[in-house]
Structure 1
Amino acid sequence: MNTTEPSSNSAVDGPELSYESGKTLMAKGPQAFHDLMATKLPAATGRPLPRMEVRFSNLSLSADIVVADDHATKYELPTIPNELKKTLMGPKKKTVRKEILKGVSGRFTPGKITLLLGQPGSGKSALMKILSGRFPMTKNITLEGDVSFNNVPREQIEDRLAQFVSYVNQRDKHFPTLTVKETLEFAHTFCGGKLLEHGHGMLDMGSSAHRDVAALEEMKKIFAHYPEVVIQQLGLQICQDTVVGDNMLRGISGGERKRVTTGEMEFGMKYVSLMDEITTGLDAAAAYDIVDTQRSIAHRMHKTVVIALLQPSPELFALFDDVMILNEGELMYHGPCNKVEAYFETQGFKCPPGRDIADYLLDLGTKQQHRYEVPHPVKQPRSPAEFGESFRLSQIYQETLSVLESPYDPELVESVKDIIDPMPAFHQSIFNSVMALQWRALLITYRNQAFVMGKLAMVIIMGLLYCSIFYQFDPTQIAVVMGVMFAAVMFLSMGQGAMIPVYISGRAIFYKQRRANFFRTGSYVLATTVSQIPLAIAETLIFGSIVYWVCGFASEAKLFVIFEIILFLSNLAMGMWFFFLAGVLPDANVVMPVGMVSILVFIIFAGFVVTKSLIPDYLIWAHWISPIAWALKAMAINQYRSSEFDVCVYDDVDYCTKYNGMTMGEYYLDLFDFVTEKEWVAYGIIYLVAIYVIFMFLSYIALEYVRYETPDNVDVSVKPIEDENSYVLTETPKAANKPDVVVELPVEARERNFVPVTVAFQDLHYFVPNPHNPKEQLELLRGINGYAVPGSITALMGSTGAGKTTLMDVIAGRKTGEDIADQIIRGSSVEQMKRLTIGVELAAQPSVIFLDEPTSGLDARSAKIIMDGVRKVADSGRTIICTIHQPSAEVFYLFDRLLLLQRGGQTAFYGDLGPNCRNLIDYFENIPGVAPLPVGYNPATWMLECIGAGVGHGSEDSTDFVSYFKTSPYNQLLESTMAKEGITTPSPDLPEMVFGKKRAANSMTQMKFVVWRYFQMYWRTPTYNLTRMYLAVFLAILFGLIFVSNDDYASYSGLNSGTYNAFWYFVAATLAEIPYCFVSSLLFTVIFYYFVGFTGFSTMIVFWLQSSLLVLMMVYLAQFFVFLTPSEEVAQIVGILFNSVFMMFVGFSPPAYKIPSGYEWLYKICIFKFPIANLISMIFAECDELPTWNETTQAYENVGSQLGCQPMAGSPETVGHITIKEYTEQYFGMKHHQIARNFGITVGLIVLFRIWAALAMRYVNHQKK
């Protein structure tokens, strides 16, 4: 238990440890290893251990927040009207300044470990982020005051600050498919691990003639094994080869993930460590061990360590040298831990016996402090501001001020030239950094096997489909040939959109690691793009080879290579474009529609859908910047200027004579307004390389300078937050007039409308597949027995990863359940979220409540409030089963019964705790070899330490607690109780559990509230809905501008190119859901319909309804794919494949009459054909009476005013004279008289997709937990 301090002789030779591995280096514990480091490092470098003192004076931080100046909170909800109101109000918006830190001064000295204490929102994280250079300094943030490190101002070393100061974030953000060991090894590599191995880097900084060569070699060995050392220090050796995982992928436990977050920032020989809530989710013993290790590092390595904790137990508190207390940005105390109680006694407060010191300190400055007030001659401070003012007048603060005003220790100032000046901003060279990042990116990409195999399968299927449909096409059918080239470029380019979710999820990790100076932004961008090249090459070779040779392109090897190069470069360029969008836009709700619309713009101006001559002059620039235009142009010239087609006579037609000297190839290129010179192939390739580099540079700019990192604790409301602390349970009923006393209210007062239920579980086992060998299984739970009775709280406890949450999920029947979370409550504090979560469950009037970590992430005061509420819920007769990690003694005493699990999912204890846990204490103290509970020690922490919980314990303890329990009276009592009636067998004295219906509410009620909730959710997601409405308007205006000035949309090339195919496909992929899809489609239709010259109000209404139904069908189809597939990326691939296949059979390319007979069944079931046929036929096939052709005049007579009655302009000789209606119906199969039928089929498909989605949601579950 007692932390060993450095021995007097340890600094001479250091302990004898083997350098073979991290395990041997840690064989005698972290203290011995740190003694070794403290000995060898000075000898190796020829100078004392580096030390860094941090001073900050009058540090103030504030944020200017824009709020609606209205007392009604509904105006601040993120609804669509409120977002529009904020956008349109502009300068009229009211700005409120939120003060986060208020004139904080102090210093953190080397060789000491400081506890940073404060409630959530007190400014702890903000202070740490400011000192470490991690705070996102946006234009609305104001920072005042001075910060210096060894007399060097922060501003002078801002770009290198991360190399001196590490910051461990609260959030556990890691790549889920990397293992624990890989995650830490990559961190080690980025922080200079490879340089250190070879004796360069930090060890060589400030070279000295006094270094010890042998010690230098030994330090190289230590650095080589440092990832394993960190794994041993954090107790991660059991799970080091397990993937980190996330909500969808089974990986390590939450506590282990938190330790990985801590370990990731342990590399790079930092001089200052700032750690934010590193023990959240850890059991008490593990938390103690980790903080004890950091204490050892501070004391032995002379490091400056500051740790912010929420619920430190007295044992944890005792490990710290100093404590800093913040409350609402005010500094309430900063000084030695052993003086803090005495200081607050001078202010009129006393910590009562049995109260945890941290709980007591956190209550000061809140409405809980009355319980600690003692008679005092001067009025006690009440608010945090008053506490701050009192502290500024204290002797401790005055001593701090005098130190801050005095010069630094000369040794520290002298060390600047050795430890600060030589330090580079990044330890790795650009080349090594790119190589390491590239290897990581390759690992992440290719471990997602479903994604990679899905992409490869997609290109094979589509390649075979294309070549079978367009087998040995006729080169004179220019629309078909151009269509194949266009589709080839488009298909591979669109496939890159599937990477958007990968890029978005990796962005938060990039932000964290870039701020820690793991690597340069340029290295990250370069490595990410290079890592995509192997898959792009594979896709291009497979797809391009099949399409090129089977479809019948020019049969020259050189031309095939050029074709493949163009495909490959366009694939890379579009992938880079999506990467740029993922970096510059805020979230996937914006990136996805903007990405689709940008592709649509590239398509429209590519020269295929709308030929170059038809693009208005004021938009021609869009043609010249579209990468698809350059790719298509280069491909077409490559094909038609080949020796096979660059001839005068082809198929007995003399093109040179007939068409003013143009060869066959030049003639067909001219039909699509393409230039014909061969050098444009090279220009196209050069442009694609250039645009790829430009998109890469733009991605670098976006990631380096545009950061979507919202600082914590900068939300504000005009309404005073006076009820922030009113959620309390006071000892008198006078608190009943407080409006927010939630838990106290009606638990006993209401009539009981639930049936008390006893929960029992007998011989429970749980197996999962072994990730390293799927044929084997891992047993997570081994024969667990227990029960929970009404009116009691049963605690599930054990070391991190022992199976507590697994056991509770199994008992609750929710093994694949996920954490409760919701976007609309994103502004709530952690405590409010916990209350809301418990409240949601209580609203259903349950008999049994399962709580997983109800106090995790809360400060001690909030944890006690929550558990007091849970206790009252249990007292109402409900059965509560609860996992908990670090309960204070006060919280632990609230539990009635304990099930204690040891590593491996075995029972170490089950039974009643007794008053003040007396039964538990007596049980463990009677086990041979267990030390008695120290006076004042938390029984929860002591019990976990006894069974070997914590870090690096268990293997050296010979006591078999599982076997001891099996032979104990407690197990005999458990077995006899389990056999009783009413526990595991029915009892005639207890009412039979009857479920009259599966759901608590009837179907009408469920529908009412679920529908209302979804409408609210969509209404309050403005980024999603406003984005698509803006895009609908943008597209309508864009298409209107393109088509308004020309009448050629009724020409042969305009219709045959499949304009409306691509057009409606992408509009449908951009807009969405009822009623928003109807509103978005209406905005589009009203602008576009009349803009391009279409007429008829009734036709416009039908056009709008059909386009809305098309959009809705696409959205519901996409939702079905999301429910059906394991991840967002796979859903994208399936969606792209599905759309690519069926869009080929709409009837455009190939035309309906040319679809091979073997594929007619695909044409008949093509879901897009029905709505798109309506949109085309209602405009182009509407003609009440067809005109007649006069052979004498060679012209039509009695031509009506309707568009369908007009003669087709510019039709080839093979088509002859034909009206637009006839051409639309004969060639594309889109018939006007089938409009009603197609409407009905579209509605039927919408219903069918909703049924499929419901079935997939009900029966398909891809969570691996």
Structure 2
Amino acid sequence: MAASNGSEYFEFEIEAGRDSFARPSNAETVEEDEEELMWAALARLPSQKQGNFALLRRMPSGVAGETEEYAKTETVDVRKLSRSRREQVVKKAFATNDQDNYRLLSAIKERLDRVGLEVPKVEVRFKNLKVVADVQTGSRALPTLINVTRDTLRMTLLLGPPGSGKSTLLLALAGKLDSNLEKSGNVTYNGHHLHEFHVQRTSAYISQTDNHIPELTVRETLDFAARYQGSSEGFAGYMKDLAHLEKERKIRPSPEIDAFMKASSVGGNKHSVSTDYVLKVLGLDVCSDTIVGSDMLRGVSGGQRKRVTTGEMVVGPRKTLFMDEISTGLDSSTTYQIVNCVRNFVHQMDATVLMALLQPAPETFDLFDDLVLLSEGYVVYQGPREDALEFFESLGFKLPPRKGVADFLQEKSAIGDNTVGYNILEGHGLPHNDNWYWIGVGALLLYALLFNNLVTLALAYLNPLRTSKTAIPLDATEENCTGEGVISQEEGGKKKGMILPFQPLAMTFHNVNYFVDMPKAMSSKGVPEKKLQLLSNVSGVFSPGVLTALVGSSGAGKTTLMDVLAGRKTGGYIEGDIKISGHPKEQSTFARIAGYVEQNDIHSPQVTVEESLWFSSSLRLPKEVSKDQRKEFVEEVMSLVELDILRHALVGLPGSSGLSTEQRKRLTIAVELVANPSIIFMDEPTSGLDARAAAIVMRTVRNTVDTGRTVVCTIHQPSIDIFEAFDELLLMKRGGRVIYGGKLGVHSQTMIDYFQGISGITPIPSGYNPATWMLEVTTPSVEERLGVDFADLYRRSDQYRGVESLIKDLSVPPAGSQPIKFASMYSKDQLSQFLICLWKQNLVYWRSPQYNVMRLCFTTIAALIFGTVFWDIGSKRDSTKALFMVMGALYSACLFLGVNNASSVQPIVSIERTVFYRERAAGMYAPFAYAAAQGLVEIPYILMQTITYGIITYFMINFERTARKFFLYLVFMFLTFTYFTFYGMMAVGLTPNQHLAAVISSAFYSLWNLLSGFLVAKPSIPGWWIWFYYISPVSWTLRGVITSQLGDIVTIIDEPGYRGTVKEYLEVSLDYGPGMIGVSAAVLVCFCLFFFGIFAFSVKFLNFQRR
């Protein structure tokens, strides 16, 4: 009766059971009996095989809909589930069509509780934690934190302004602090110190930076993470005990939950049910087959990429999560759904989660149990979330109306924004609005006049009681009481605007469509269309002096629309009408008058904040703006975005050095503002910022708009204050369709009235954030429930007709107006562009010791090694063996150091090329100016490398000590190092990324080595390969350096097989004839120019950035 494997055995038992019973006529009873038989057969399997099979109900083929009446129960081998079966297992376990995982997790918890099985719990404690780092003068360490316990079954929110130590605390608790940092205090997990166990197997840190392999799809990324983190360990640890206890107590689990838990406990497979579960929870199932992408390669949206970062960690088995700003780039509705799923995970699975968020919406804030509030590295509040407001109110801080609690707490924890004077006035019930400033001034003037008149009368009519004497007051020591309130009032009273002149411009766009070629993954699924439409008949108006919000869920096409309008798309197909003040848009002109704040903050890491702004303003402001005006303007912009105190800070690389995320975001905005554009596009300018920093940025944006500029912002998770700072709204849904366009109105009332006018829409609750409500009532599930399409409703509305009318009016140029024209594409001439780029590149190289200092150190060490290995060999020329040793010394040095130069320059060029794409798109400079600066900046360092290497090796090897030969030796070394360096730059320029450049370069290095004339002498190279000898630069290096050092040596070589001079041996055996020194040098110069020319060509004509 037994079969060779469990599956055959199981099927045999089921069939036998079916034949043993009569079949009732009732179909439902039959189905129940069949299910009973399947459970019975499953129970009779050997215990080691029971975990491999589960029961699953599914619709038979050919039956449409989800009606359970037709569902059939069948056995499935959870080790061999297809993709459709895995998705079916997850769908059945969820028991709902949305992302909510509560039913699934509560059912799992209920199953475990019924048998009294407890899952492992982790309690994290930290006591007197202090982190210290070596920093520049004026900076600080993270101070000591008070004792805190993170209990299970409690989800904790970590709040604090940027720089307060949130990431440092999370890294410290996760055991991922940099080893260079000095840490004191205790961190324990269930009483065990971090050195007593492998922390990485217990907890996971979810970074705020998104680092992924861009060519992998979302599903492949999560499958890889699940497989190598051992996602199956989550349930596998107690599935056997669970099955045993259920069998003892005769408890039958839910088939759906049983199938999910068994499938999740299967390890070693390429694909995992855990991946499908995480895709469902994070809302990534709609883009699971789309590549992740990067700054250079178009992939999923920024919000979806952020969710992939979260998914990479939560797909594993760890139940202690430290989550660092996981909501950056997500709309408030999506953030709420994800945080709610995490809350369910914490409460149902006894997990421990500490999550740092920047701008949590009120409804998201209310999901947390506890709150930890940081300020300047100190814990200023720790306890239940609902008690936080009462705590701050007891200190005199009152929650203003229409402000979220989280935003209020963020502001209160920002020390620079909380003044003593304000709290004293508030505590004494004294007024503090701006109107009372002038009332006070008027009152003081009246008192001054009154007292002066009284003094005059007293002096005129009253006599002194005694002889008057001069009174000399004794001044006490004056204390420096610089109150923050005084500073804030002075700054608040000053209107922040930008003074350089500009021309206000309006942008209209009508029926804009955007298509890309259908992804292969979708085509393979049978999608018949050849193109995928990302924007569908989008129309709107962006007017001067009007701040427009571009809002929509993640993946709705907001960034795509901005890229299309700004001319930043490098591929795809664009349809529609785009005009600037009635004139057709010309991209060459538009780049001069527009700024684009990208979602990804891309800057040269080795320059300071002030230098970044100076570089941008020097290239983009017109020649008519003097240096002093430009300097004043840069200072004004730095002050606007509050970067003046960071003017000398290096930008650094995201997530590893330099500026924080919010500081980098403000720099991105400032780089565009210093160009003094008429139209500014801002892609999520507040993403990654806390409430205070976002308010600062939006004040800057608002002041920019008030000068008459046209500003458009995509925005996620706006607070009420930020959202109502906008004048107009363009709301989009997935598929790139507009569902609302027009004015917001006072307190967003115009927009609220429009949506509340749609039958079935839930009215907005009192005090609720209009932005959050708007996204919640326009989700696909609401459309499905109401049976409407919001995009179709909008196109039939009066709102849409008003926008169409405005587009028609503004699409006609004003009488007598001319389209904007410039004499040249760039504001600076080519020479000025080159000099400014060279100035920046020089700063980058000077501040890259890991590249240049290490290059010189490597050169020195290599020179000493070669010098000692070939010590005094240069004077030994009386045999062919000694001659070949001399040639080997010359050859190996050229190839070894040259290859090192080519390899080490590639990461530098790759990073700067990414920055170049952004700067070229902004119209800063011509590609050749950048390429020339990138090449020329290498020359001084190559020259220093040549002199270092030449002096050491020449005299240690003991070549002939004449000035001419020493100079020729340096010349050939310099040219060799130069063409290798330029080759490395060219390889990056011709390939999409540094890794491919390295692979291709390795092939060329091998061929150059083989066919350079040393390993195989030129006369011995086969005729069909001799052509490569002549195009190999190493062969000309070898010819030139050997000829220059040995070509005139007449020392006699007398040995068996050859008798003659060294000069004759070179001519006969190696074909190194006389007079080739100048030719070799000229050819090497040509190679340098050729490699550099190809690099410049690639920079100008090749664009590997896919947007």
Provide the TM-score with structure 1 as the length reference: 0.62
Decide whether aligned partners of structure 1 residues 912 and 1024 sit closer, same or farther in structure 2, where only a CA change above 3 A counts.
same
Equivalents in 2 of 1:728, 1:1174: separation in Å? 73
CA shift digits 1:642-663 (9 cap, x unpaired):
xxxxxxxxxxxxxxxxxxxxxx
Equivalents in 2 of 1:958, 1:39: separation in Å? 36
Equivalents in 2 of 1:1259, 1:871: separation in Å? 38
The answer to whether 1:1079 aligns with 2:944 is: yes
Query: How many corresponding residue pairs?
Result: 837
Q: How many angstroms does 1:306 deviate by?
A: 2.6
Q: How many angstroms does 1:799 deviate by?
A: 0.7
The aligned counterpart of 2:1052 is: 1207
Decide whether aligned partners of structure 1 residues 99 and 804 sit closer, same or farther in structure 2, where only a CA change above 3 A counts.
same
SS state of the match for residue 826, structure 2?
coil
The aligned counterpart of 2:417 is: 368
Contact 2:319 2:351 in 1 (8 A): yes
CA shift digits 1:254-277 (9 cap, x unpaired):
211222222233345544333221
Decide whether aligned partners of structure 1 residues 115 and 1084 sit closer, same or farther in structure 2, where only a CA change above 3 A counts.
same
Contact 1:121 1:328 in 2 (8 A): yes
The aligned counterpart of 1:529 is: none
SS state of the match for residue 781, structure 1?
strand
Decide whether aligned partners of structure 1 residues 268 and 956 sit closer, same or farther in structure 2, where only a CA change above 3 A counts.
farther
1:1121 to 987, 994, 1002: 987
Equivalents in 1 of 2:560, 2:483: separation in Å? 34
The aligned counterpart of 2:764 is: 933
Decide whether aligned partners of structure 1 residues 1131 and 379 sit closer, same or farther in structure 2, where only a CA change above 3 A counts.
farther
Superposition pairs of residues 612-691 of structure 1, within 5 angstroms: none
CA shift digits 1:228-267 (9 cap, x unpaired):
2222111111011222222333322221122222223334
CA shift digits 1:587-636 (9 cap, x unpaired):
xxxxxxxxxxxxxxxxxxxxxxxxxxxxxxxxxxxxxxxxxxxxxxxxxx
Superposition pairs of residues 92-103 of structure 1, within 5 angstroms: 98-103=140-145
Contact 1:40 1:218 in 2 (8 A): no
The aligned counterpart of 2:124 is: 54
Q: How many angstroms does 1:819 deviate by?
A: 4.6
Contact 2:301 2:554 in 1 (8 A): yes
Contact 1:854 1:866 in 2 (8 A): yes
Select the structure with the greater relative contact order (CA < 8 A; seq sep ≥ 6). 1
Q: How many angstroms does 1:1119 deviate by?
A: 1.0
Equivalents in 2 of 1:260, 1:1003: separation in Å? 43
2:849 to 1013, 1022, 1037: 1022
Q: How many angstroms does 1:212 deviate by?
A: 6.1
The aligned counterpart of 1:972 is: 801
Decide whether aligned partners of structure 1 residues 377 and 1014 sit closer, same or farther in structure 2, where only a CA change above 3 A counts.
closer
Q: How many angstroms does 1:1104 deviate by?
A: 1.0
2:569 to 802, 815, 820: 815
Contact 1:172 1:261 in 2 (8 A): yes
Contact 2:972 2:1041 in 1 (8 A): yes
Aligned AA (2:853):
L
The answer to whether 1:336 aligns with 2:384 is: yes
The aligned counterpart of 2:578 is: none
Decide whether aligned partners of structure 1 residues 39 and 1219 sit closer, same or farther in structure 2, where only a CA change above 3 A counts.
same
Equivalents in 2 of 1:875, 1:42: separation in Å? 61
Equivalents in 2 of 1:1034, 1:727: separation in Å? 59
The aligned counterpart of 1:1042 is: 869
1:1109 to 975, 979, 984: 975
The aligned counterpart of 1:702 is: none
The aligned counterpart of 2:620 is: none
Contact 1:133 1:158 in 2 (8 A): no
1:914 to 745, 749, 754: 745
CA shift digits 1:914-963 (9 cap, x unpaired):
222221111111112211111111111111112217xx876556331110
The aligned counterpart of 2:169 is: 127
The answer to whether 1:65 aligns with 2:134 is: yes
Aligned AA (1:1089):
Y
2:279 to 217, 231, 236: 231
Contact 1:277 1:309 in 2 (8 A): yes
Aligned AA (1:1236):
G
The aligned counterpart of 2:90 is: 22
SS state of the match for residue 416, structure 2?
coil
Same amino acid, percent of matched pairs: 34
The aligned counterpart of 1:1264 is: 1106
Aligned AA (2:604):
D
Q: How many angstroms does 1:26 deviate by?
A: 1.9
The answer to whether 1:1134 aligns with 2:979 is: no
1:786 to 522, 529, 540: 540
Contact 2:496 2:703 in 1 (8 A): no
Aligned AA (1:1076):
Y
The aligned counterpart of 1:771 is: 520
Aligned AA (1:364):
K
CA shift digits 1:471-521 (9 cap, x unpaired):
xxxxxxxxxxxxxxxxxxxxxxxxxxxxxxxxxxxxxxxxxxxxxxxxxxx
Superposition pairs of residues 103-182 of structure 1, within 5 angstroms: 103-136=145-178, 138=179, 140-145=181-186, 147-149=188-190, 152-155=191-194, 158-159=197-198, 161-182=199-220
Q: How many angstroms does 1:778 deviate by?
A: 1.6
Decide whether aligned partners of structure 1 residues 869 and 63 sit closer, same or farther in structure 2, where only a CA change above 3 A counts.
same
Decide whether aligned partners of structure 1 residues 1112 and 803 sit closer, same or farther in structure 2, where only a CA change above 3 A counts.
same
Aligned AA (1:153):
H
The aligned counterpart of 1:215 is: 253
Contact 2:234 2:317 in 1 (8 A): no
Aligned AA (1:373):
N
The answer to whether 1:283 aligns with 2:331 is: yes
1:759 to 504, 507, 512: 507
Contact 2:175 2:194 in 1 (8 A): no
The aligned counterpart of 1:456 is: none
Contact 2:292 2:305 in 1 (8 A): yes
Equivalents in 2 of 1:1056, 1:759: separation in Å? 72
Contact 2:323 2:354 in 1 (8 A): yes
Q: How many angstroms does 1:164 deviate by?
A: 4.3
- Alpha-carbon RMSD: 3.3
Unaligned stretches of 5+ in structure 1?
1-14, 72-95, 381-721, 737-743, 1184-1203
Contact 1:1153 1:1226 in 2 (8 A): no
Decide whether aligned partners of structure 1 residues 1070 and 338 sit closer, same or farther in structure 2, where only a CA change above 3 A counts.
same
Q: How many angstroms does 1:1082 deviate by?
A: 0.6
Provide the TM-score with structure 2 as the length reference: 0.71
SS state of the match for residue 152, structure 2?
coil
The answer to whether 1:895 aligns with 2:726 is: yes
Equivalents in 2 of 1:1153, 1:343: separation in Å? 90
Contact 2:783 2:789 in 1 (8 A): no
Aligned AA (1:1153):
P
Equivalents in 2 of 1:53, 1:1141: separation in Å? 60
1:1167 to 1020, 1024, 1033: 1033
1:303 to 335, 351, 354: 351
Q: How many angstroms does 1:848 deviate by?
A: 1.6
CA shift digits 1:511-548 (9 cap, x unpaired):
xxxxxxxxxxxxxxxxxxxxxxxxxxxxxxxxxxxxxx
1:994 to 806, 810, 821: 821
Equivalents in 1 of 2:377, 2:130: separation in Å? 9
Equivalents in 1 of 2:748, 2:123: separation in Å? 44
1:1070 to 900, 916, 919: 900
Equivalents in 1 of 2:1015, 2:483: separation in Å? 67
Equivalents in 2 of 1:1252, 1:1160: separation in Å? 24
Decide whether aligned partners of structure 1 residues 1009 and 229 sit closer, same or farther in structure 2, where only a CA change above 3 A counts.
same
The aligned counterpart of 1:1099 is: 965
Contact 1:1061 1:1143 in 2 (8 A): no
Q: How many angstroms does 1:375 deviate by?
A: 4.9
Q: How many angstroms does 1:794 deviate by?
A: 1.9
The aligned counterpart of 1:1061 is: 891
Decide whether aligned partners of structure 1 residues 934 and 807 sit closer, same or farther in structure 2, where only a CA change above 3 A counts.
same
